[in-house]
């Protein structure tokens, strides 16, 4: 019974009394435990070092792994959340003291207006009737710098702001190629021709006193004027009388008045891409002189200071200025341009935009009171306080060819007389622009008015202007180069550095753990082998001594013959 209990009690001393056999079985059990422990990475981190084992650094490896994982997570989050774009969108929102808002309120750009006048070189001959057509000679440029600013700004809770624009002009003599504001030319008498246009539609009793007034004051349709007088107005007897006796026909006192406008713009609170775009003009998102949304809408148009941000491929934009009397649609012609190191998308005015519905039926609404002018002209009488003004492109570019048959000296050229915009599609920042329009007097049948018979049913070119910005100032350009180019590159570099750096740290930590496990296993194997060899040698020595002892005993007891045999 005792032997049975010893078996179940794992007492094997009675079975294995040999120390060498005990060592072999103990070595096998220890080897199994070591293999189980050392091939576990987690256990290699937290298993307590035994006395005599090699020193490990589990906390350092764990720290490297944690940092690597954190860097990888930050890289993935930066790619998904795009912090650069979040910050950029925040900067686009208009608020007091905001960087982009301050740039919009008072643009620090060199914006110029170049004006070219049409001098009638044969004015006397044409008035006398000896010349069949008027001969025009383009003179200029007369260059003015526009000091654009948005004044009296009030922020509203609905994501818009109220402002009154200011457009003072400062003459730039050094850019005007020797031309001076007091240069004298033969130019159209706008006051006389405007009165004649309005009065010609009334009965004889109204026309009679006006004709007497015209003859009495010896006013003629073409007269000598200085460049400044023609561009900015001057007081004459006819304009004074016209403003006194014909106040409901023509607003002579507002002939050159552009100071009473008020506008509402989006701040970008609800949509960052719309910051700086029109919400309304004079309290309405539509221009009163046109019918239908296609012709009257100015909402989301730009005044040229800032265009829509985050422009998509093939997206169209709107450009509006009071002098144009409409929002002009712009289309993309290419996005692979670069201006001063910044990516730019080129826009031009929509083809056939001034066709009055002859080609594009949507433009039929630009015909004033159902009366359509020739293709290439837009009647803006209502915007110019009753004056018979029609806009076109310079030199009647892209207009009905018949307009050129009644005058001499105009030479349309697409490269010289077309408009373009270079806009950064991300920010909506204009990098370079050139906007060109011509102001004409579109005369009807005024043959029943004194001195005006030869000016009936003709379109008289008066001047054309170019709003131009050749480049951004150096400081502004460098600022947006940093925001739109270098900062984006830095953002991409940081994204890859986070991913690559985190991956390398994680890989390094894993390699350290693997090497630590491998070296520990090798060291233990060598130690066990040495221990096994030492124990084997000890067992062999014990067996040899035991054998010698037994043999010596036999030798003493044996015969002489057996001793000799043993010694042999």
Query: At which of 438, 468, 498 does a domain end?
Result: 468
Same domain, 75 and 207: no
Same domain, 252 and 200: yes
Determine the Cα–Cα distance for residues 314 and 299; give it in Å rounded to an integer.
19
| pLDDT tens digits along 128-183 | 999 999 999 999 899 999 999 999 999 999 999 999 998 889 999 999 999 999 99
Residue 56 lies in a domain: yes
Residue 178 lies in a domain: no
Residue 238 lies in a domain: yes
Q: How would you write the pLDDT of the chain (568 residues) with one tens digit per residue?
A: 444 444 444 444 444 445 555 554 455 555 555 545 544 444 444 444 554 454 455 677 777 777 777 777 776 776 666 677 778 888 899 999 888 999 999 999 999 999 999 999 999 999 999 999 999 999 989 999 999 999 999 999 999 999 999 888 999 999 999 999 999 999 999 889 988 998 888 888 888 888 888 888 888 999 999 999 898 876 666 666 666 655 555 555 555 556 678 999 999 999 999 999 999 999 999 998 898 889 999 999 999 999 999 999 999 999 999 888 999 999 999 778 999 889 999 999 998 889 888 888 889 999 988 889 999 999 998 888 788 999 999 999 999 999 999 999 999 999 999 999 999 999 999 999 999 999 999 999 999 999 999 999 999 999 999 999 999 988 889 988 888 888 777 777 777 777 777 777 777 777 776 766 666 666 656 666 556 556 566 666 666 666 666 655 555 555 555 555 555 5
Residue 476 lies in a domain: no
Residue 536 makes CB contacts below 8 A (sequence gap 6+) with 20
Residue 2 lies in a domain: no
Query: At which of 468, 502, 520 does a domain end?
Result: 468
Same domain, 251 and 300: yes
Same domain, 76 and 38: yes
| pLDDT tens digits along 399-439 | 999 999 999 999 999 999 999 999 999 999 999 999 999 99
Domain count, the chain: 2
Residue 142 makes CB contacts below 8 A (sequence gap 6+) with 114, 115, 116, 117, 171, 176, 179, 181, 227, 231
Residue 100 lies in a domain: no
Structural element, H or E, at residue 437 = strand 430-442
Paired tokens of 492: 């991409």
Question: What is residue 365's DSSP assignment?
Answer: G
SS3 sequence, 463-476?
EEEEEEECCCCHHH
Instruction: Supply φ then ψ for residue 84, to 5 degrees.
Output: -60, -45
Same domain, 200 and 339: yes
Beta bridge partners of 390: 379, 440
Beta bridge partners of 344: 337
| H helical segments located in 218-366 | 227-232, 237-245, 293-296
90 three-class SS: helix
Same domain, 459 and 495: no
Q: Which of 61, 474, 89 lies closest to 271, judged by CA?
A: 89
How many C-beta neighbours within 10 Å does residue 381 have?
20
Residue 144 lies in a domain: no
Determine the Cα–Cα distance for residues 364 and 474; give it in Å rounded to an integer.
44
Answer whether the bond into residue 72 is a cis peptide, omega within 30°: no
Same domain, 276 and 356: yes
Same domain, 337 and 404: yes
Do residues 67 and 505 make contact, with C-beta atoms less than 8 angstroms apart? yes
Question: What range does the domain containing 559 cover?
Answer: 19-80+489-567
Same domain, 389 and 295: yes
Phi-psi map region of 327: left, alpha, beta (phi>0 left; psi -120 to 50 alpha)? beta
DSSP states of 138-201: EEEEEEEEE--EEEEEEE-TTSEEEEEEE--EEE-GGGTTT--TT-EEEEE-HHHHHHHHHHTT
Same domain, 407 and 361: yes
Same domain, 448 and 529: no
């Amino acid at each position: 019974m005792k032997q049975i209990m010893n078996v179940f009690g794992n007492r094997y001393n009675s079975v294995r009394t040999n120390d060498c056999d005990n060592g072999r079985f103990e070595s096998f059990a220890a080897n199994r435990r070591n293999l189980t422990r050392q091939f576990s990475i987690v256990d290699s981190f937290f298993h307590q070092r035994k006395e005599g084992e090699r020193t490990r650094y589990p906390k350092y490896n764990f720290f490297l792994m944690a940092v690597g994982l954190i860097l990888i997570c930050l890289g993935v989050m930066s790619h998904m959340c795009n912090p650069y774009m979040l910050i950029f969108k925040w900067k686009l929102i208009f608020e007091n003291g905001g960087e982009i808002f301050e740039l919009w309120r008072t643009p620090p750009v060199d914006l110029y207006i170049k004006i070219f006048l049409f001098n009638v070189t044969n004015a006397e001959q044409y008035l006398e009737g000896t010349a069949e057509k008027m001969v025009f000679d383009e003179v200029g440029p007369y260059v003015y710098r526009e000091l654009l600013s948005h004044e009296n700004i009030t922020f509203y809770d609905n994501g818009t702001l109220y402002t009154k624009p200011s457009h003072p002009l400062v003459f730039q003599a050094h850019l005007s190629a020797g031309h001076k504001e007091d240069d004298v030319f033969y130019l159209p008498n706008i006051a006389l021709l405007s009165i004649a246009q309005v009065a010609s539609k009334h009965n004889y009793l109204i026309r009679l006193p006006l004709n007497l007034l015209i003859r009495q004051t010896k006013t003629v349709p073409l007269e000598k004027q200085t460049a400044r007088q023609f561009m900015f107005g001057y007081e004459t007897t006819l304009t004074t009388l016209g403003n006194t006796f014909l106040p409901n026909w023509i607003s002579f006192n507002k002939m050159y008045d552009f100071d009473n406008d008020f506008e509402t713009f989006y701040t970008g609170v609800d949509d960052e891409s719309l910051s700086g775009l029109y919400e309304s003009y004079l309290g309405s998102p539509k221009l009163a002189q046109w019918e239908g949304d296609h012709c009257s809408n100015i909402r989301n148009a730009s005044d040229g200071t800032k265009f829509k941000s985050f422009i998509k491929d093939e997206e169209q934009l709107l450009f509006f200025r009071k002098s144009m009397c409409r929002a002009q649609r712009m289309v993309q012609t290419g996005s692979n341009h670069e201006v001063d190191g910044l990516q730019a998308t080129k826009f031009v005015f929509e083809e056939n935009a001034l066709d009055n519905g002859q080609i594009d039926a949507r433009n039929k609404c630009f015909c004033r009171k159902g009366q359509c002018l020739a293709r290439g002209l837009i009647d803006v009488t209502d915007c110019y306080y009753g004056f018979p003004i029609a806009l076109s492109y310079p030199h009647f570019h892209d207009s009905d060819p018949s307009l050129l048959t009644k005058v001499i000296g105009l030479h349309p050229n697409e490269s010289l007389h077309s408009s373009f915009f270079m806009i950064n599609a991300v920010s909506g920042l204009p990098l370079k622009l050139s906007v060109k329009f011509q102001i004409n007097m579109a005369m009807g049948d005024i043959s029943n008015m004194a001195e005006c018979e030869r000016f009936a049913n003709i379109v008289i070119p008066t001047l054309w202007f170019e709003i131009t910005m050749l480049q951004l100032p150096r400081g502004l350009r460098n600022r947006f180069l940093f925001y739109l180019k270098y900062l984006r590159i830095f953002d991409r570099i940081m994204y890859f550095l986070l991913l690559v750096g985190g991956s390398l740290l994680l890989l390094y930590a894993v390699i350290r753990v693997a090497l630590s496990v491998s070296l520990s296993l090798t060291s233990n194997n060598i130690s066990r082998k040495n221990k096994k060899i030492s124990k084997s040698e000890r067992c062999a020595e014990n067996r040899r001594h035991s054998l010698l002892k037994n043999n010596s005993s036999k030798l003493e007891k044996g015969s002489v013959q057996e001793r000799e045999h043993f010694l042999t």
